[in-house]
Structures are given as C-alpha cells and as structure tokens.
C-alpha cells in the first residue's frame, strides 16, 4: 500500500506521552484510512475506512480526527481543518463563555430553565429554540445573573430578549447562590487552554458526525434507487421518514440524479387520468403550494388512500413537473 498522507499525534497521560499516527493510503484502486497507536514498542492499527469513495473517506476522517483531538491528541502538523483564524479571533470571547458554561454550569438550574422554556413555548405557540437556545440557557445557569444589567452581559441576550423574558429568568436566578461575579473577564484566565481546545474539538466532532450521517443517508438512498427498491424499502434502509425521503428526492432530482425509476414504481398504482389532472393543476395554479392543487383535483371528495398518501403522490408528480419546466426553460 502506498501511503499518501501521514501525521503524528501525541497526548500526555499520567505523565507519559502517548503517540499515534493518522494515515491515508491507496492500494488496488481503493482508499484506506487508519489510526495507529504505539504503546511500549507495540503498534495497534485501527482501520476507519476502506473503499473507493474519497468523499466518504473525508467525512470519516474529519469526524474521527475530531474525536481523537477532543480526547487530548494534538498533531505534529497543524492546520488539519484549515480554520479561518480571523473568524476564530472574532468569536473568541463568546466561545470561551460558551465553553465554561457547558463545563461548569449549574445543572439543576439549567433543568429548571428548560422546563420553563417548554411551558413558555407551548403557551406562546413557538418552537423552543425561538424562545431561548440551549447555549443561552447554559450561560444563564453557569453565570447566574441577578440583575438586568448582568443578564445583558451574556452573549445572546439583546434588548428584545431581555424585555420579553428577562424578569422571568431573574426570578429563577435570584434565589441561586453563585461563586463568581460580573463582569465575566475572569473566565478568560480561569479556563485552561487545554480544556478549551478539547471542548472546541468536541464541537467539531458533533458537527462532523452530523455531516457524516447526512452523507451516509444520501448514499443509502442513492444505492436503494440504483437497486430498484421501493419507497418503503428505502425508508427502512435509510432511517428517514417517508416525508423526509420525498423531500430528499426533490433535492436529488434538482442536483441531476435520476429519480425516475423510483417515481415509476410509486406512481404505477395511480391512474393516468388522475396524474394528468394533477399535472394540469400545476400548470394552472403553479407548483409552490400543494393544497390548492389538492382541492382543484379532488374537490370536496375524500381522496382514496388518505391525505398523507395523496400528498406523497402530489409531491412526486411535482418533482417531474418542475424538471419539465426547467428543461423547457433551458431549451428556450
């Protein structure tokens, strides 16, 4: 195997230095990604990826490397993620406060704030994250502001948030003791650099895990279509809901992937006259909203198979309709 990339990493553990190597190799038109750990002269290899997809390898590489760096490993060659240093500097203060709040927050106060958020979101008919993010509630629980001025010093608390929810937050924090005070400049010296770096890489680990999961989901869907599987079979294979899968099909079709084989199978049970009526409704009403098309085609009648199934078919026909419109636009 020809090694095309290698980097040495190390970390201190019980006063001993642990050594590892991250490497990428190529052999017989296949990529290999691995992690080699050295202990007492012995080498233990772990294979993270073997296959032909360079894109998949990169997703796994980013996720696995972030995991190791969050555990304290640091590379001999820096810049593995090509971070934008200017962006890091601009967000430095906020990131430090966020890090400290996650590592040293008051868990009971955080849970109380979460309960409040659920109740407030339900009463205001808002999504919970519109009321307050986890990050903001973590900061309130860690730094325990007792006055409106202190509350306003937390990143994420503007005049609008403070006026809308500030008094309710302060009612919960005023009875809680705290070991620190405002302003929060002390955080930048108290928080250890190693703690901060490990926390940063834990954030990267979570981000790259989401990207890897999204990539693997798309891969499963594309392979399922190539193998001629049905919508339900691909749902079981990918872990997506039927609605999520159809939304992904819309995206894949826009990106140029061939979705016709799957659409043919799913629409085969729908009468041609019904499909033509849906197509004509799109031509007349446009394809932005489904409800007007539903009423145009079915009127006040209850569609056979239930609304959910009908909406699925409307969306699948819309995929073809939009492709047709785009093809005609490009031809003209």
User: What is the pLDDT confidence band of residue 84, given thresholds at 50, 70 and 90?
Assistant: very low
Provide, rounded to the nearest whole percent, the portion of the chain with pLDDT above 90: 83
Using DSSP, state whether 164 is helix, strand or coil.
Answer: helix
* pLDDT cut 70: percent of the chain above it: 94
CB 138 within 8 A of CB 169: no
Round to whole Å and give the CA distance between 305 and 307. 7
Using a cut of 0.85, tell me whether the model's pTM lies above it.
no
pLDDT digits 0-9 by tens, 230-279: 999 999 999 999 999 999 999 999 999 999 999 999 999 999 999 999 99
pLDDT attached to residue 87? 41
- Listed residue (39, 207, 38, 37) closest to 48, CA to CA: 37
Q: Which two tokens stand for residue 233?
A: 């079979």
According to DSSP H, which parts of the chain are helical? 54-70, 85-90, 92-104, 107-124, 128-131, 134-143, 148-151, 159-173, 187-190, 193-226, 231-238, 242-254, 260-267, 272-285, 291-298, 307-331
Calculate the CA 302 to chain-centre distance.
Answer: 38
How far apart CA 200 and CA 208 sit, in angstroms, is: 12
User: From CA 245, how far away is CA 269, in angstroms rounded?
Assistant: 19
Q: Return the structure tokens found at 148.
A: 């409106």
Quote the distance between the C-alpha of residue 139 and its chain's center.
22
- Residue 305 predicted with pLDDT over 80: no
Q: Is the pLDDT of residue 219 over 80?
A: yes
How many Cβ atoms are within 10 Å of 201's Cβ, its own excluded? Answer: 22
Helix (H) / strand (E) element for 19: namely strand 16-27
**pLDDT(102) > 90:** yes
pLDDT over 80 (residue 89): no
Distance CA 168, CA 162 (A): 9
According to DSSP, residue 11 is labeled E
Cβ(32)–Cβ(26) below 8 Å: yes
Other beta carbons less than 10 A from residue 247's beta carbon? 13
**What per-residue confidence (pLDDT) applies to 41?**
77
């Amino acid at each position: 195997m020809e090694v095309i990339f290698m980097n040495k990493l190390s970390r201190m553990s019980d006063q001993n230095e642990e050594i590892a190597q991250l490497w990428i190799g190529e052999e017989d038109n296949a990529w290999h990604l691995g992690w080699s750990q050295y202990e007492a002269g012995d080498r233990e290899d772990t294979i993270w990826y073997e296959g032909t997809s360079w894109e998949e390898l990169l997703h796994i590489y980013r996720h696995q490397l972030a995991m190791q760096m969050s555990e304290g490993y640091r590379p001999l060659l820096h810049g593995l993620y090509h971070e934008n240093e200017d962006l890091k500097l601009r967000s430095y203060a906020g990131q430090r406060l966020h890090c400290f709040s996650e590592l040293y927050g008051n868990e009971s106060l955080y849970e109380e704030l979460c309960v409040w958020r659920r109740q407030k979101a339900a009463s205001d008919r808002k999504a919970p994250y519109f009321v307050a993010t986890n990050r903001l509630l973590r900061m309130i629980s860690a730094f325990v502001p007792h006055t409106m001025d202190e509350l306003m010093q937390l990143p994420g608390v503007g005049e609008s948030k403070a006026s809308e929810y500030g008094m309710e937050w302060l009612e919960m924090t005023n009875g809680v003791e705290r070991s620190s005070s405002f302003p929060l400049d002390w955080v930048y010296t108290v928080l250890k650099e190693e703690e901060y770096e490990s926390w940063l890489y834990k954030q990267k680990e979570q981000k790259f895990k989401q990207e890897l999961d999204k990539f693997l989901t798309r891969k499963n869907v594309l392979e399922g279509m190539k193998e001629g599987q049905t919508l339900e079979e691909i749902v079981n294979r990918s872990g997506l809901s039927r609605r999520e899968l159809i939304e992904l099909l819309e995206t894949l079709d826009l990106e140029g992937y061939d979705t016709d084989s799957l659409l043919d199978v799913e629409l085969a049970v729908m009468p041609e006259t019904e499909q033509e009526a849906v197509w004509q409704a799109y031509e007349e009403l446009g394809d932005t909203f489904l409800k007007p098309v539903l009423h145009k085609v079915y009127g006040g009648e209850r569609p056979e198979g239930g609304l959910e199934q009908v909406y699925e078919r409307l969306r699948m026909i819309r995929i073809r309709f939009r492709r047709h419109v785009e093809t005609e636009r490009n031809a003209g």
